[in-house]
Structure 1
Amino acid sequence: MIKVLIVDDDKLVRKGISSAMPWSEFNMEVVGEASNGSKALDFLKSQPVDLMLTDLAMPVMSGIELMRAARQLYPELHIVVLTLHQDFDYIQEALRLGAIDYIAKVQLEKEQFEHVLHRIRSRMDELAKTNRKLPSLHELNVHYRKVYALVSLDRKSEQRWPLELTAHGDEIRWEVERNSWMWAAPEHREDQLFQQLQQSLNQVPQGTLLVISDIQERTWSQIQNWIMNYTETSLFYAYNPDDPVIAVSMNEEDTFPEEPRDEDIDRIKQSWFQTPWTHHDGYYNQLIEQFKSLRLHRGQLMGLLYSIVMEWNRLFAQTTLGRISMIHSFQSWHEVEAWIKQTASGIRKADEQTSYSQEIIDAVKKAVMIVQHNLDQAYTASGLSQQLNISRSYFSQCFKDLMGKTFNEYSRFIRIEKSKEYLLNTNNTIFWIAERVGYTDEKYFSRMFRELTGMLPSEYRQAGRGDKQQTSSR
């Protein structure tokens, strides 16, 4: 009997799945429920479980965190993800972490429960045939020096590959996770296996071949987990489609910082906005190295790039300096760097369409960033032009041509825009908000606010919060 654990923070979902599905018809039995990942781990420690169905978005410990922990502690546990349609990125992460399937909650009422369980049971049976229990390497009479892992970074592909490659004789073939397989062959057949796998790379979307050494005294489960961890961290940066064979040692430890430091993130943002990296190779290479040195996980890197794009477009999308497009998804640093290079080219083209020198364009961008990051200070065109070593009249002319507003108009606009955020998202006084956006006189601030918005700050706050209440009540 296959023992099943259901993990979801919604009690009704747990009870519904437990009672509605025909578990016994597929030789399955629900032996427990848990409301979060932490409680699920406690349950797994207390009694055996063969199949775990887990939600992804849960308090205390998310489903992704639970999967990472369970994968290390219970490598033979099968995991199915319970999710919503909009959790696409989470689904991809879960499949990469070894989930054998996922169930969209909104489809549970539409799909036949028998079909869902049949699909899960078939997948478990398929894996049972492939991932047979193997002894540790030193328990075998055959000497294996290396393990080869054929990995696809294309997480969206549903293709089951490589179908035509099979194990012969004393060769070992084992599915590591979805779109990732590993092989081992006796020493006298290593070269032949390597050539065979290398030739198969062109069948694998975004494929890479890992040649893993120092495998002695390891169990197959340890090797499998090492491959999954390497794929999750180091391979993201090591992958190169022009050189897809990577030699690695299991003795090498590649540690990643758990969280990036705020000062390192700020340094990258400053380099993006305040150095002429788009026009000079030296600054470009420096920015690339700053990104790579952080060794951010894919999700962290995606968040950083997204924040940079949003900030850039907020500042420059409506100006002659143009907007930049966000990369929709990436599976490797190689793709990220290609996007950065393409973005630099787009920014250069936008700059070249103006009649100003690059030095002047960079000065205007720097002025924008100075004002943006110091809204509580009353910068003037005269003061900034002196700081940037440009005559006041020429600075004002360049600023208006490039940004579409005079410096004073722009300064007033961004201060009022920031004050709108404070009004809607804080309960601070009008005087407090006025000071934070560079106005020491509350009455003067209110007059400027009404000129630009048609309302007093208090009226804007009241109207905005009324709209929020109507939206939340729908």
Structure 2
Amino acid sequence: METTFCKIVVVDDEMLVRQGIIHLLDWEGEGFQIVGEASNGREAFELIESQRPHIILTDIVMPVMDGEELIRLVKGMYPDIEVIVLSSFSEFEYVRSTFQSGVADYILKPRLDAASLLAVLKKTAQRIPVLQQVDWRNDKRQSADYILDKLISGYPVEYEAEVLQGIFPYADFALVIAETGEEAASVGRKEEWLENSIRSLLQSGGMPLVFRRLSTVEGHVRLLFNLNVDGREALIRMAEQVFAAGIRAHMFQSLAVSRSLTDLEQLHTVYSQELMKLLDHRFFLPEHSLLVDSGGEVQQGAAFDQDAFAAELNRQEFDQAFARLSAYVSSMSGRRDTGVSEFKSFLCHSIFQVIGMLLHFHYEAKALDESKYEYFRSIHEARHISETEARLIQFLQDATECFMKNRGGTPAMQKILLYIDENYSRQITLTEVAKEFHFNPSYLSNYFALHNKEGFNEYLNRARIEKACLLLKESPDLSISEISSLVGYSDHSYFTRVFRKLMAVSPSQYRKG
């Protein structure tokens, strides 16, 4: 006679809490079966119609739809379903009010251990009429699904090898992930289509493969294939056929095939560290939605020369710096040696650098600075390398317009400002700079005022105070007097007066602030 399990849906907005509960017990060994999980009440309610659980184990405080509203809906439409509430100490009064809606019991999260949870569940299950005859003894054998779910999730599990040997006749394994782009609660039709398509191909082609669907998480349908040593080619051929049909039918966005493995204890590593990384790199491979991990080493591409980029910006060689950055981003298409988050962070940092240098050299970049967070947002939301490249091109065009205006200056003016920026720490004077560039001091003073929005002394003081601000924040071991000397002021009291005038606070207040 088929075993009757008490079916449970777990609802909590924290994934770690859900996973902790799911892997807390040998559920089937105790007579229970986790048939679904959800991160809020709305997702849970969608699961109920398809899974018809006996018990819902739910948190109270959740986004979208909280536990209290979920309980009212469930008890109104499915009065036979029992609900157990998970809560913290601070929510006790809130939880108590849910008993008016027919909650069966509650359990405090801080006391959520296997024995306590199992006791509450068994007490609740015994109230359900269709489960009156269930054998609640603990001698039920672990199922293959339970064992495989533990292995792919990375939780320790002891099991009898015979359980898996009976369904997997071959020595090698491979994991296949279909990325649907939907939450687990919405992929039932796609799971069924995928299984039927694979089963049909295997039957018609006589391929030396068997497969088993694992639990679905985060919009990924996961399939474990068992193959003989010569079955790798057949698996890739089958994946190509399924992929082509699946894309046409809009069943999934991409398909990833792992390297072959012989030890199922490696399942979690292959899934979490290898296949997920492979799917992540589809960002750099927009034209490749069928991804196959051959198990070889990833070839390293050329690194970005950050020092050369910074030096070009500092010399105001913006055309060269922009060309360098653009070429590097273009080279990333097809590469697999850099993480997506790492790449996006690098790109945002580079934009920040460019804007900072434009402002430092007093180009009209205020509008660009105000729009930087919009650039950051669009880059972090980009789905493919082509989208980030297009956004970078737009930014570089806007930045080019800033420096092409040249703030009304001339090449000679640019060289004078660069000289000041490189020598501010010395006791340089207008006379010294005039001599360096073969100007009459009086003429240089007028020339500076004509081609720059600040006079010579104003610009020199601002350059020194900007550097002093950095030292005050980044070098706590340096005294204010030492910093004054390092940025070119021999008179500490004069430094303090200039600092207060430009920053509206004293150096010591700035350091504290």
Q: 1:279 to 1:232 in 2, by over 3 A?
A: same
- Displacement, 1:327? 1.8
State whether structure 2 residue 191 is matched by structure 1 residue 173.
no
Equivalent position of 1:415 in the other structure: 464
Equivalent position of 2:241 in the other structure: 195
Q: Is the Cα contact below 8 Å between 2:467 and 2:487 reproduced in 1?
A: yes
Equivalent position of 2:392 in the other structure: 340
CA distance in 2, matches of 1:393, 1:290: 48
Q: Is the Cα contact below 8 Å between 2:426 and 2:488 reproduced in 1?
A: yes
Deviations 1:340-389 (A, max 9, x none): 333223223444566879x959x95x9878866776356778489969xx
Equivalent position of 2:269 in the other structure: 225
Equivalent position of 2:188 in the other structure: 163
**Which amino acid letter does the alignment assign opposite residue 431 of structure 1?**
S
**Which amino acid letter does the alignment assign opposite residue 219 of structure 1?**
D
State whether structure 2 residue 249 is matched by structure 1 residue 209.
no
Q: 1:234 to 1:210 in 2, by over 3 A?
A: closer
Deviations 1:12-70 (A, max 9, x none): xxxxxx9xxxx99x9969xxxxxxxxxxxxxxxxxxxxxxxxxxxxxxxxxxxxxxxxx
Q: 1:294 to 1:221 in 2, by over 3 A?
A: closer
- Secondary structure in structure 2 of the residue aligned to 1:243: coil
- Displacement, 1:147? 4.5
State whether structure 2 residue 327 is matched by structure 1 residue 285.
yes
- Secondary structure in structure 2 of the residue aligned to 1:150: strand
State whether structure 2 residue 478 is matched by structure 1 residue 436.
no
Equivalent position of 2:508 in the other structure: 461
Length-normalised TM-score, structure 2? 0.48
Q: 1:158 to 1:238 in 2, by over 3 A?
A: closer
Q: Is the Cα contact below 8 Å between 1:278 and 1:284 reproduced in 2?
A: no
Q: Is the Cα contact below 8 Å between 1:185 and 1:193 reproduced in 2?
A: no
Equivalent position of 1:70 in the other structure: none
- Displacement, 1:461? 1.5
- Displacement, 1:413? 1.6
- Displacement, 1:320? 1.5
State whether structure 2 residue 177 is matched by structure 1 residue 149.
yes
CA distance in 1, matches of 2:420, 2:93: 54
- Displacement, 1:394? 11
**Which amino acid letter does the alignment assign opposite residue 272 of structure 2?**
M
Unaligned runs of 5+ in 1: 1-17, 30-84, 86-102, 469-474
Unaligned runs of 5+ in 2: 1-16, 26-62, 64-85, 96-105, 122-142, 153-160, 200-209
CA distance in 2, matches of 1:104, 1:278: 59
% same residue: 13
**Which amino acid letter does the alignment assign opposite residue 131 of structure 1?**
D
Q: Which has the larger radius of gyration?
A: 2
Equivalent position of 1:245 in the other structure: 290
- Secondary structure in structure 2 of the residue aligned to 1:178: coil
- Secondary structure in structure 1 of the residue aligned to 2:292: strand
Deviations 1:101-136 (A, max 9, x none): xx9999977985659779x999xx9x8498377978
- Secondary structure in structure 1 of the residue aligned to 2:489: coil
- Secondary structure in structure 2 of the residue aligned to 1:131: helix
RMSD: 5.9
Q: 1:142 to 1:452 in 2, by over 3 A?
A: closer
Q: Which moved more, 1:141-150 or 1:224-233?
A: 141-150
- Displacement, 1:285? 0.9
- Secondary structure in structure 2 of the residue aligned to 1:171: strand
- Displacement, 1:432? 0.5
State whether structure 2 residue 149 is matched by structure 1 residue 131.
yes
CA distance in 2, matches of 1:130, 1:160: 20
- Secondary structure in structure 2 of the residue aligned to 1:285: helix
Q: Is the Cα contact below 8 Å between 1:275 and 1:283 reproduced in 2?
A: no
Length-normalised TM-score, structure 1? 0.51
**Which amino acid letter does the alignment assign opposite residue 340 of structure 1?**
L
- Secondary structure in structure 1 of the residue aligned to 2:293: strand
**Which amino acid letter does the alignment assign opposite residue 341 of structure 1?**
I
CA distance in 1, matches of 2:400, 2:352: 19
- Match runs of 1:236-275 below 5 Å: 236-237=280-281, 239=283, 240-250=285-295, 252-254=296-298, 265-270=306-311, 275=317
